[in-house]
Amino acid sequence: MENWTGEGLGKLQICGGRGLRSFVETEMVSRARLMCETVMAAPRYSRLGQITGDPGTGKTSATYWLAEKLGAIRIEAWAGMKEKTCLQELAHAFTKAGYPIDESGTSNTLIQRLIRRGAEGKLIIVDEANHLRWPTLEMLRSISDIGGAPLVIAGTDLLAKKFTHLQIRVFLEQFRQRVGTKKVVMQPVQDAGEMAAYVLAPRFGGVTQKSANAFLKKTGGNWRFAVALADACERLMSNEDIEKLDERVVETAAAWMAGGS
């Protein structure tokens, strides 16, 4: 019976992101890294890239890892975030990274300081960018265009939305032109062997094909749910003193999660 151990298929990385136990550099994440490096090397006025995909496909985890590996300035937006708040968060992140920026003053003053810092060439990653209003995105684009800072926005695909307001449509087209092909769409994992190598093997060692198939079926290839289900499997195996992951463990752990246990 075929076993997957994950050897040669991915690299386990410890990452300090919120709620993240470990991280694997999947093929999709490798593409995101290459895209970010392309953005960093792009000519001015085209230093903009995008990471998008459905919820749960690993976008946020990827941004933490990319920020660590590429030394990027990373912030995370939230619903209702105002323009000035976003700029203050960005200034704070620059300061934490050793590039002090005064967070006081008006939005215009803040963006001027950030534009000047853009010349440092530090990659800026804005996660959950779909929560931002268009004026905020325009400010971020100005930091990239005028200051020269490479900028990658991550989140569900706000550039695919259709707007009737003329000014917003112009903003949208400007973003699209600058992103161009520098876009990575995070997708659910389709292959049981890949899921086993990336999620199961680092935790449980060798995994049978049946177990891998059962795990993929239960998760639907969704990265967030896969990590949660693997956690549930570990808890179940610890509680019941089970040494080997099998289909019954996967089924029972999934039932636990469905029942809110």
Structure-token pair, residue 67: 């920020």
**Secondary structure letter of residue 196 according to DSSP:** I
pLDDT one-digit tens code per residue, 176-190 = 889 988 999 998 888
| Rounded-to-integer distance, Cα 174 and Cα 172, Å | 5
pLDDT one-digit tens code per residue, 252-261 = 999 999 886 5
Structure-token pair, residue 239: 């509680």
Structure-token pair, residue 200: 């199961």
pLDDT at 42 over 80: yes
Q: List 76's β-bridge partners, or say none.
A: 127
In this prediction, residue 159 carries a pLDDT of 65
pLDDT one-digit tens code per residue, 104-154 = 999 999 999 999 998 789 999 999 999 999 889 999 999 999 999 999 999
In the chain, domain spans: 27-186, 189-259
Confidence band of 58 (pLDDT split at 50, 70, 90): confident
In this prediction, residue 89 carries a pLDDT of 98
In this prediction, residue 7 carries a pLDDT of 35
Architecture of domain 27-186: 3-Layer(aba) Sandwich (3.40)
Backbone angle region of 75, left / alpha / beta, with phi > 0 → left and psi within -120 to 50 → alpha: beta
Q: Are 31 and 186 in contact (CB under 8 A)?
A: no
| Average pLDDT over the chain, rounded to an integer | 87
In this prediction, residue 2 carries a pLDDT of 45
Name the 3-class secondary structure at 210: helix
In this prediction, residue 63 carries a pLDDT of 96
Q: Are 149 and 121 in contact (CB under 8 A)?
A: yes
In this prediction, residue 239 carries a pLDDT of 95
| Rounded-to-integer distance, Cα 201 and Cα 29, Å | 18
CATH for the stretch 189-259: 1.10.8
| Rounded-to-integer distance, Cα 60 and Cα 20, Å | 10
Confidence band of 174 (pLDDT split at 50, 70, 90): confident
pLDDT one-digit tens code per residue, 202-224 = 899 889 999 999 999 999 999 88
Residue with tokens 């100005």: 142
